Structure 1
Amino acid sequence: MQALAKPKPSPELFPTVQELSNGWTVRVSVPQPDKLKLIIDITPEIYGPKAPSGLAVAQWVEHTGTYLKNQPFNSQHIKSKYFHNPEPWYHSVDMGMGKREANVRFEFKRGTKKLPPQMWLTMNPRKVGPEGFKTLVAILADVSGPFSVKPLLQSAKFTMLDVAVDIVGLQVSDLVIWSKNVGKRQHFVGADDVLETINLHRKPYKSKPAGNVFLKAYDRRRERIHAGKKPPFGKGNVSRVEVTKQPKKPYNSLKSLPDYNDPFKDLRVGFVFDQTQMTKEWLNYHSLRRTLSAKAASTMLYLDEEQRTAFEKALTAPKNPLVSSNVNWLGWSEGLKRTGLIHLLDEIA
């Protein structure tokens, strides 16, 4: 029996309601940015309007760190790292913004032979939320502060972007996941023998034999409970599908984020019951293929070649996709609005 989600997911955040072949109902969220890293070159153009002429980068970093530690606009100074050698320098300042576990990290990188000095901003937009982004914009736009908001955001590049979709009504073990880019797979099972997380790595390459993790599917309800926090929908199951992108020039300017290419274009996620005729052999094959080859799984289940071929097709081309190209990405603008990231983007125009 499917556990009911309480409170009921909002139709604005979960606009897709899908009836499944076994009679269950799932609700799928709009895609939302779940982690974002911005890189800004530290140049005089991003200095605040009251910065003195000829201000050295180290002086600007010192002033910026001190400004942030004074907790402007009701922000909260969480922690900071400060180095004294070879010159005084704030390594990072973590600031609390918004209402929910929101941490924006300001990180300052010294220049190298290849790169200028940089400031990195790392955050989870979903947690920062609209109120948190209003606070961040106020800090960046403060005429008495160290920043010049428009040049700073116009020059900002995002080098990491996690995009997440929540599926309310299913566990991770209920999902069939396919991607043409997959290499290594990792499965994490809880102490109660329930599948909690699937990590997919990209195909290996010379400098990274295992390949980077580009997709995570995990049990959102269990994640919250393990962290000692209230699950989002009570006893209702929630699976999060999260894609990690690491864009490069010229496709990573912050101002281009609303028009970013669909990150789900090479991905298909469906419900296990929807893929083929429901049999005990299919369910066992789906489970065994997480850790065995197609040949080993079919041998263990005494499948003939026709059954094996049909099951492999069901695994690699999920029907009735819940997450896939052209299925979820139409909601990206709503996701930006819901997190409040749109407040930051509005400052660029």
Structure 2
Amino acid sequence: MSPAPDPDVPAPGGPEPPDPGQVRRWRKYLAEERTEARIYRLLAARSAGREREILHQIAEGEQRHVEHWARLLGPHAGTEARPSLYSRLLTFLAAHFGSVFVLALLQRAEGRSPYEKERDASDAMAADEAVHEEIIRALATEGRNRLSGNFRAAVFGANDGLVSNLALVMGVGATGTAPAMVLFAGIAGLLAGALSMGAGEYVSVRSQRELLDASRPTQVTLHVAPNLDLDANELVLIYRARGMSEEAAEHRAAERLGFFDCDCDPSRSFRDPVEDRTEPRERPNVALGTDLGAAASSFCFFASGALVPILPYLVGLTGATAMVVALVLVGFALLVTGALVGLLSGASPWKRGLRQLGIGYGAALATYALGLLFNTSVG
């Protein structure tokens, strides 16, 4: 009786056994795919409706990739590799938060898939990862739109507070002024900037809403149509001004004047007349947010950002020590807010954070140099 074949020894004429490098790489891919499938299931559990269904289907796609690597590994699949720190972080965030930020991080992870250059991955797997990135981009965009109004005012308000008050404190501090005066200047800058930002944000959002309201069509044609001069039918001009072709505008005017009982030309690309006969509905623009909400967010977050540079003075630090501590605190805050903006925009959080840090420190250096020119302690 012949002995059973060894699974690690290929049959004559069979495929070559994987080398140690391949085994390590495949185990890494297997661990990452299992983790990604779990992340999508966790996100699906915290979602509802259409989004839940989509996330479950993506998890099924990741499971197909798991089966691919497990099949290639064969008996070597028993020893699992440890997923990356990034994947473990995403798992934690998905289990406890499940927000748009997790989707934004997943979008970047899917965009960095190595399968396009991996000869052991199928073309279908590379295509799956590209499609997954676009699916997650679409889901994340919905969340970004929900946040982009008040959140935009909050993040940029905080950044403005951090940068402007740090520059103010550094400039005043460099003149050799007493610490109490530096603190007073910082508090004055906090209040003045927060009030200015809140008022400006309110006026900005309110003005945009008023412009949208002024551009929305009214229902005047329902009331004045019976009294129009049929030989000089200016009703047609209304619809042409709204972008309809001449033929479509004449057809709609005929409906308004009672010559047609229904919209009998389905090929025309404008709204159904039944919808026009309803009262104009309020159409909130999600991207704008509310005027009061944006103003309050801008005020509070500017104030919270502007508070950071004066914290060292509030706890009794003075001179160069206070300024160095302020620089460190503001630098950390700028990195965080810049990273958040990067996540929401789908860009690299590190690059956005470093960009914010460079802008903030650049402004502080400029005002510090100006303060040295007026240093009151010299002479």
Q: Identify the TM-score tier after normalising by the shorter chain.
A: under 0.3
Higher helix share: 2
Q: Which has the higher strand share?
A: 1
TM-score (norm 2): 0.22
Structure of higher CA gyration radius: 2
